[in-house]
Amino acid sequence: MPETADPADPAAPAHPGDQVRTEEPVRTHVTPAGAGVVELARPAALNALDLTMVRLMTRALTAWRDDPAVRSVVVRSASPKAFCAGGDILAVRAAGMAGDDTAVRAYFTAEYGLNALIAGYPKPYTALIDGYAMGGGLGISVHGSARVVTERASLAMPETGIGFFPDIGASYFLPRLPGAFGWYLGLTGARVTGRAAVACGLGTHHVPAAGLPALEAELTGAGAADPDAVLRRFAAPPAPPAGHADAVARCFSAPGLPQVRARLAAEERQREWADDTLALLDAASPASLAITAGLLRAGADSTLEECLARELDLACRTARTADFHEGVRAALVDKDRKPAWPAQAQPERLS
What is the amino acid identity at position 53? Answer: M
Among 34, 131, 135, 136, the active-site one is: 136
Among 34, 36, 87, 96, the active-site one is: 87
Please list, in sequence order, all residues whose beta carbon lies within 8 angstroms of the beta carbon of residue 51, skipping any fewer than 6 positions away. Answer: 1, 2, 6, 88, 91, 106, 107, 110
256 noted as active-site residue: no
Among 88, 111, 167, 323, the active-site one is: 167
Alpha helices per DSSP H over 162-204: 170-173, 181-188, 194-200
66 noted as active-site residue: no
Q: Are strands 154-156 and 205-206 parallel, antiparallel or unpaired?
A: unpaired
What is the amino acid identity at position 188? Answer: T
The torsion angles phi and psi of 206, rounded to 5 degrees, stand at -105, 125
What CA–CA distance (Å, rounded) separates 282 from 65?
44
87 noted as active-site residue: yes
Gyration radius of the chain's alpha carbons: 20
What is the amino acid identity at position 293? Answer: A
The torsion angles phi and psi of 73, rounded to 5 degrees, stand at -125, 140
Among 50, 111, 159, 311, the active-site one is: 159
What CA–CA distance (Å, rounded) separates 103 from 120?
26
159 noted as active-site residue: yes
Nearest to 196 by CA among 231, 158, 239: 239
What CA–CA distance (Å, rounded) separates 244 from 228?
30
What CA–CA distance (Å, rounded) separates 102 from 272?
45
Please list, in sequence order, all residues whose beta carbon lies within 8 angstroms of the beta carbon of residue 39, skipping any fewer than 6 positions away. Answer: 26, 27, 28, 75, 76, 77, 78
Supply the residues annotated as catalytic. 87, 136, 159, 167
